[in-house]
């Protein structure tokens, strides 16, 4: 598995999670739409699906993991930030094969690519606290 294939899977999954959060459409339909309509060359599609389906199934649990470290109520959190935090928290809690430093770095890059200008700092701060809590 090439790291670049997983990076591309995370980018695609972030966009799909965002769409799911906004529309609450069927996740299988969103996954199929992305595979058909997006450039999936060099994307680890299995990992993309795992992230998308995993986040959608476990969203409430994931929110409970990172919510204590938010500076505002979950309901006020930017939708892109929420997608990035959910994806990263899913990897931190369910994908033990991925080192936490990789998860945090990838989440920062996703926030830089898709979120508001300073979001990457916010995401980094929240995930640092999540990791400290998980390591206890």
Buried b / exposed e along 101-123 (16+ C-beta atoms within 10 A): eebbebbbbbbeebbeeebbebb
pLDDT score of 1 = 66
Containing structural domain, residue 53: 3-135
Task: Write down the mean pLDDT value for the chain.
Answer: 96
Strand boundaries in 1-136, DSSP class E: none
pLDDT tens by residue, 65-78: 999 999 999 999 99
CATH for 40? 1.10.940.10
Cβ neighbors of 92 (< 8 A, separation 6 or more) are 65, 100, 103, 127, 130, 131, 134
> What are the Cα distances from residue 28, in Å, to 39, 53, 86?
18, 8, 18
Range 92-107 average pLDDT: 97
The H helix count followed by the E strand count for the chain is: 6, 0
d(CA 23, CA 9): 21
pLDDT tens by residue, 2-56: 889 999 999 999 999 999 999 999 999 999 999 999 999 999 999 999 999 999 9
Tally of domains in the chain: 1
Q: Which two tokens stand for residue 13?
A: 């999954």
């Amino acid at each position: 598995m090439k790291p670049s294939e997983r990076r591309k899977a995370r980018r695609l999954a972030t966009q799909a999670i965002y769409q799911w959060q906004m529309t609450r459409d069927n996740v299988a339909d969103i996954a199929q739409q992305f595979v058909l309509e997006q450039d999936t060359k060099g994307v680890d599609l299995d990992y993309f699906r795992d992230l998308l389906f995993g986040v959608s199934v476990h969203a409430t649990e994931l929110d409970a993991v990172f919510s204590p470290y938010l500076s505002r109520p979950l309901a006020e959190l930017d939708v892109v930030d929420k997608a990035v935090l959910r994806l990263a928290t899913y990897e931190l809690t369910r994908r033990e094969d991925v080192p936490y430093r990789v998860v945090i770095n990838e989440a920062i890059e996703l926030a830089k690519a898709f979120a508001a200008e300073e979001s990457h700092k916010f995401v980094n701060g929240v995930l640092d606290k999540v990791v400290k809590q998980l390591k206890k």
